[in-house]
Amino acid sequence: MNDHLAPAELALSAVPISTQPDAVGPLQVLPGILLTAGIAGTAFLLRRLPGASVLSPMILATFLGMALHNFIGAPAWAKPGITFSLRRVLRFGIILLGLQLVATQVVQIGAIGAGVILATLAATFVFTKWFGSVIGVEAKLAELIAAGTSICGASAVIATNTVTQGSDEDVAYAVACVTVFGSLSMFIYPVLPALLHLDAQAFGLWSGASIHEIAQVVGAAFQDGAHAGQVATVAKLTRVMMLAPMVIALGIVATRRAAHAVDPAKRKAPPMPWFVLGFILMVVVNSLISIPAAPKAWIVTATTFLLSMALAAMGLETDFRKLKAEGLRPLGLAAAAWIFIALFSLALVKLTAYA
């Protein structure tokens, strides 16, 4: 499976809606769009360097954008296009992501496998939110780390921020966390099957149910053989399918919370992420229509490129000084969530027929 499915490690906006201009002309947004596209293109080229291929273009684009902003400075003339990339380009990229998924993938891993994945996702999300409140991590940042860990890494972080509406620094911190710990999993997991007495099927399910990004899942699971890699990929894509219902559910909760807020300033509900319906529609289309291999490859690359543009834009809005101000508690939360998802999913795999 191609690691351009970096949902997919999937956001609509890391920038608060109130600060985003609604009426800008094409000539105003073009320079910033070209800048984010240039950063995304550079990220694709960097993946050809030895050792860099383990990172998705989305992650590399994030770091490149952050470096440009903090060491050189994002030009003012690019601001409208950066905002456009964070909103419109990102929405379109996430909608296209649906063309990489089919409903029958859930059937391939069976009811028990699907149950392991869903239980792991729900438990990890709840645990991370709870533990974040215990150790004093700001609620929005904890929610973003929870989404990235439990669903699909960077893509889930930025999609969830559509309704969470955290700061750019919150998003960048969460993306960095899921990148670090997901990468650790990619190198640690392959040495564990024999020690944990896991066959290829069990190891594949465990990898797919617990490692953060798709690229990281593929990198880890295929080291135990083709069967383990295939099971892991299907399991991971099943998790990715949960992105849409998760974001919609969070949007409903946020809307109800805003409606009952005592403080008038908190009564403004975040916009419902209706773009997610487009994502679901594309999953349906891809499940009913067989897209030829050549066009499918172009769609996968285009989707990853668009999401890389959006994350480059987010990096261009991220200030290292504000990231530093977050402290080490969020990193500790991400580490705890990483350990929890690994152990919880392993326990479920061991308790089912897969072990």
The DSSP annotation for 25-53 comes to -HHHHHHHHHHHHHHHHHHHHHTTSTTGG
Percent of the chain's residues with pLDDT above 70: 85
Write down the pLDDT at residue 10: 37
Q: What pLDDT shows up at residue 92? A: 86
According to DSSP, residue 31 is labeled H
pLDDT band per the 50, 70, 90 thresholds, residue 138: very high
Res 210: pLDDT = 94
Over residues 237-263, the pLDDT tens digits come to 788 888 888 888 888 887 777 666 545
pTM: 0.68
* Confidence at residue 250, expressed as pLDDT on a 0 to 100 scale: 84
Confidence of residue 273 (pLDDT cuts 50, 70, 90): low
Residue whose tokens read 């419109």? 88
Q: Domain map of the chain by residue range?
A: 17-351
Predicted local confidence at residue 176, as pLDDT = 82
Q: What is the pLDDT of residue 50?
A: 82
**Quick one: pLDDT at residue 263?**
52
| Residue 109 binned pLDDT confidence (cut-offs 50, 70, 90) | confident
Q: Indicate the DSSP class of residue 153.
A: T
For Cα atoms 331, 167, 85, give the angle at the middle one, nearest 5 degrees. 115
Lowest mean pLDDT among 37-51, 112-126, 175-189: 175-189
Write down the pLDDT at residue 5.
Answer: 44
Is residue 286 within 8 Å of 98, Cβ to Cβ?
yes
Q: How far apart are CA 163 and CA 227, in angstroms?
A: 38
Mean pLDDT of 18-33: 69
pLDDT digits (tens, 9 = 90+) for 93-106: 878 878 877 877 77
Round to whole Å and give the CA distance between 12 and 81: 15
**pLDDT tens track for 35-89:** 999 999 999 999 888 877 767 787 788 889 989 988 998 888 999 999 898 778 8
The DSSP symbol for 271 reads P
Grade residue 11 by pLDDT with cuts at 50, 70 and 90.
very low
- List the one residue out of 196, 252, 243 whose CA is nearest residue 224: 196
Report whether 182 contacts 149 (CB < 8 A): no
Q: What is the pLDDT of residue 224?
A: 84
CB half-sphere exposure, 274, CA atoms < 13 A: 1
d(CA 211, CA 338): 8
